[in-house]
Amino acid sequence: MARELDEKDFAILRKLAPEYSGILCPESGHEFHSILPPVSNHIATDEEDFARRVCRLSDEDWDYLTDQIVSGREDLGCMPQEDIETILARIREAVSDEAAERVRRLYHLSGCGML
């Protein structure tokens, strides 16, 4: 079942993409159901832009996003590997090495079709 973003999610989205005020994914025309993939795939202009954007988030934001990822509410499956590496580095810095490793394993398992 698709997740509906709440106000906390939209607050994080506004930090990542303050120039974007919509709730619809620019390419597909449907509402966002995750935060990081649309920023990676549709809003950031390239890998460096994505990295700059995710550096705007606080440790508290990363703790929340990590919980969303680990619980399966934030799906990273469609994101490119280079942006996943950026996310993993930020989770290592803001949350913990263990949390980053859990996210890395989940991403790998989802890419293998095991999740």
Structure confidence by residue, pLDDT tens digits, 51-103: 999 999 999 999 999 999 999 999 898 899 999 999 999 999 999 999 999 99
pLDDT at residue 26 is higher than 80: no
In this structure, is residue 1 part of a structural domain? no
- H, E, C per residue of the chain: CCCCCCHHHHHHHHHHCCCCCCCECCCCCCECCCCHHHHHHHHCCCHHHHHHHHCCCCHHHHHHHHHHHHCCCCCCCCCCHHHHHHHHHHHHHHCCHHHHHHHHHHHHHHHCCCC
Number of structural domains in the chain: 1
- pLDDT, one tens digit per residue, over 4-15 is 788 899 899 989
* Residue 36 lies inside a defined structural domain of this protein: yes
Looking at per-residue confidence, does 1 or 72 come out higher? 72
Task: Report yes or no on 89 lying in a domain.
Answer: yes
Amino acid at 32: F
Residue 108 pLDDT greater than 90, yes or no? no
Domain containing 60 equals 7-111
Q: Report the percentage of the chain scoring pLDDT > 90.
A: 59
Residue 52 lies in a domain: yes
Residue 34 confidence class, pLDDT cut points 50, 70, 90: confident
Residue 2 lies in a domain: no
Domain assignment of residue 50, yes or no: yes
* pTM reported for the whole predicted model: 0.86
